[in-house]
């Protein structure tokens, strides 16, 4: 838990912030055909994968067709969720003035309504990144992911809850903005607002369920069970992949968490520094970065959430150079390392602090 900005004077923090602002302004000034071609090409790829995946599942009496169809549909759902939906709803392509890919209009192929996602993610998470008690993505109201979260016996199930959150991730995200863990508390949103949000989730999710588990299986006639299973497998693959990428960007070793008191009245430079210290990158190939929605560059995404994500790879080189000059750690490692230490944190925080154990050794009075 970090309460103070480490090792930098106010003048250095201001200069640090100005350098990052300059990167952002330079990219904004350079936006154009290259970026428009990229997102439109990605949408064509995603749609092609979905059409081919569903067509192959209709021929899934042949096992290779079922495997290929499930894989293609899973890839289409991952691209829709991460490289297209997440990034479009951040407003990364609003400058194009294309209603089909404008953050105000876009709806994605997942259970969470776009309006609720933009509140819980774009506003709460990106404003209060890793501030315990403010950023609800720290634990998602289910897990203990910080030493500052008071331990309760409930958290002994931390690894089990994490497993089910991974398997059902789209549903965990969908229910996230209901804030059911705050019912009866001082900051509770109230029954009327919660019912309103629940209604929005129901209307969105029933369409998702009907499409994948009723409409397309029924269209397949005698092959309905195979199509149902393929859709289930594609959704499961998307859930597990999204969980892994998102958790690896926020909770591996070296990622800092913050208190409300220590982040009051932040300057621009301090805000940038918190985003950087509260994030981690994952190394991988170009295809890996695309399939992660470029959230493998989580540091750059937290610094510049409204810049097109396909730009993060080139920006990252300059961000690393700036961090080196200011003596700031730049957390980047393999998927195996980041996921391994994230799982370790989940397991460790399931247990009470040593001082709370009834058998913990107490200091001997002099």
**Stretch 97-109: mean pLDDT:** 94
Residue 309 has which token pair?
């994500």
What value does the mean pLDDT of the chain take?
91
How far is the C-alpha of 39 from the C-alpha of 52, rounded, in Å? Answer: 20
Report residue 136: phi and psi, to 5°: -75, -5
Band of residue 1 on the pLDDT scale cut at 50, 70, 90: low
CA 274 centroid distance within chain = 17
Angle between helices 158-167 and 224-250 (to 10 degrees): 130
Strand partners, 281: 332
Residue where the block lists tokens 């750059």: 300
How far is the C-alpha of 17 from the C-alpha of 10, rounded, in Å? Answer: 11
pTM: 0.91
The helix/strand/coil state of 114 is helix
pLDDT digits (tens, 9 = 90+) for 322-345: 999 999 999 999 999 999 999 999
The helix/strand/coil state of 217 is helix
Give every CB contact of residue 310 below 8 A, 6+ residues apart in sequence: 35, 38, 290, 294
6-10, 158-162, 192-196: least confident range = 6-10
20 pLDDT more than 60: yes
Band of residue 359 on the pLDDT scale cut at 50, 70, 90: very low
360 pLDDT more than 80: no
| The predicted structure's pLDDT at residue 264 | 82
How far is the C-alpha of 240 from the C-alpha of 81, rounded, in Å? Answer: 12
| The predicted structure's pLDDT at residue 5 | 54
How far is the C-alpha of 335 from the C-alpha of 315, rounded, in Å? Answer: 20
| The predicted structure's pLDDT at residue 355 | 56
How far is the C-alpha of 131 from the C-alpha of 149, rounded, in Å? Answer: 11
Percent above pLDDT 70 for the chain: 95
- DSSP-derived secondary structure for 1-20: -B-S--S--HHHHHHHHHHH
How far is the C-alpha of 328 from the C-alpha of 12, rounded, in Å? Answer: 12
Give every CB contact of residue 113 below 8 A, 6+ residues apart in sequence: 107, 174, 200, 201, 203, 204
Give every CB contact of residue 96 below 8 A, 6+ residues apart in sequence: 36, 39, 102
44-48, 104-108, 146-150, 187-191: least confident range = 187-191
How far is the C-alpha of 114 from the C-alpha of 280, rounded, in Å? Answer: 25
Q: Is 77 exposed, middle or buried (0-12, 13-18, 19+ CB in 10 A)?
A: buried
| The predicted structure's pLDDT at residue 141 | 86
How far is the C-alpha of 235 from the C-alpha of 77, rounded, in Å? Answer: 7
CA 342 centroid distance within chain = 14
Nearest to 75 by CA among 105, 42, 123: 42
366 pLDDT more than 80: no
| The predicted structure's pLDDT at residue 235 | 97
8 Å CB contact between 248 and 86: no
8 Å CB contact between 289 and 308: no
How far is the C-alpha of 25 from the C-alpha of 240, rounded, in Å? Answer: 35
How far is the C-alpha of 223 from the C-alpha of 359, rounded, in Å? Answer: 59
**Stretch 245-272: mean pLDDT:** 91
How far is the C-alpha of 135 from the C-alpha of 306, rounded, in Å? Answer: 19
| The predicted structure's pLDDT at residue 358 | 45
353 pLDDT more than 90: no
105 pLDDT more than 80: yes
pLDDT digits (tens, 9 = 90+) for 75-92: 999 999 999 999 999 999
Give the containing element (helix H, strand E) for 56.
helix 33-58
| The predicted structure's pLDDT at residue 292 | 97
Angle between helices 63-78 and 224-250 (to 10 degrees): 40
| The predicted structure's pLDDT at residue 191 | 85
Left if phi > 0, otherwise alpha if psi is -120 to 50, otherwise beta: which for 307?
beta
3 pLDDT more than 50: no
**Stretch 154-160: mean pLDDT:** 97
Band of residue 362 on the pLDDT scale cut at 50, 70, 90: very low
């Amino acid at each position: 838990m970090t309460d103070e900005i480490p090792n930098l004077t106010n003048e250095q923090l201001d200069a640090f912030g100005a350098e990052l602002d300059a990167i952002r302004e330079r990219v904004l000034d350079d936006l154009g055909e290259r970026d428009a071609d990229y997102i439109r090409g990605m949408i064509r790829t995603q749609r092609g994968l979905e059409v081919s995946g569903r067509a192959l599942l209709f021929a899934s009496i042949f096992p290779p067709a079922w495997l290929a169809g499930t894989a293609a549909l899973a890839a289409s759902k991952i691209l829709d969720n991460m490289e297209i939906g997440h990034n479009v709803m951040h407003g990364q392509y609003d400058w194009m003035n294309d209603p089909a890919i404008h953050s105000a209009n876009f709806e994605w192929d997942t259970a969470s309504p776009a309006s609720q996602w933009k509140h819980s993610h774009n506003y709460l998470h990106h404003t209060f990144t890793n501030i315990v008690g403010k950023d609800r993505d720290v634990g998602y109201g289910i897990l203990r992911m910080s030493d500052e979260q008071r331990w309760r016996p409930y958290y002994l199930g931390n690894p089990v809850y994490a497993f089910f959150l991974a398997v059902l991730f789209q549903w965990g995200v969908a229910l996230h903005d209901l804030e059911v863990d705050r019912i009866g508390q001082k900051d509770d949103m109230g029954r009327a607002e919660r019912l309103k949000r629940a209604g929005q989730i129901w209307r969105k999710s029933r369409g998702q369920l009907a499409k994948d588990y009723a409409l397309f299986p029924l269209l397949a006639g005698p092959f309905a069970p195979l199509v149902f299973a393929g859709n289930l497998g594609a959704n499961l693959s998307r859930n597990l992949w999204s969980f892994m990428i998102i958790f690896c960007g926020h909770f591996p070793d070296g990622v800092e968490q913050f208190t409300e008191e220590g982040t009051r009245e932040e300057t621009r430079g301090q805000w940038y520094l918190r985003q950087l210290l509260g994030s981690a990158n994952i190394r991988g190939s170009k295809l890996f970065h695309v399939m992660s929605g470029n959230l493998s560059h989580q540091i750059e995404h937290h610094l510049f959430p409204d810049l097109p994500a396909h730009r993060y790879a080139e920006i990252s080189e300059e961000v690393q150079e700036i961090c080196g000059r200011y003596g700031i750690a730049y957390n980047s490692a393999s998927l195996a390392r980041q996921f391994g230490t994230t799982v370790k944190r989940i397991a460790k925080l399931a247990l009470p602090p040593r001082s709370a154990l009834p058998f913990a050794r107490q200091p001997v009075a002099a």
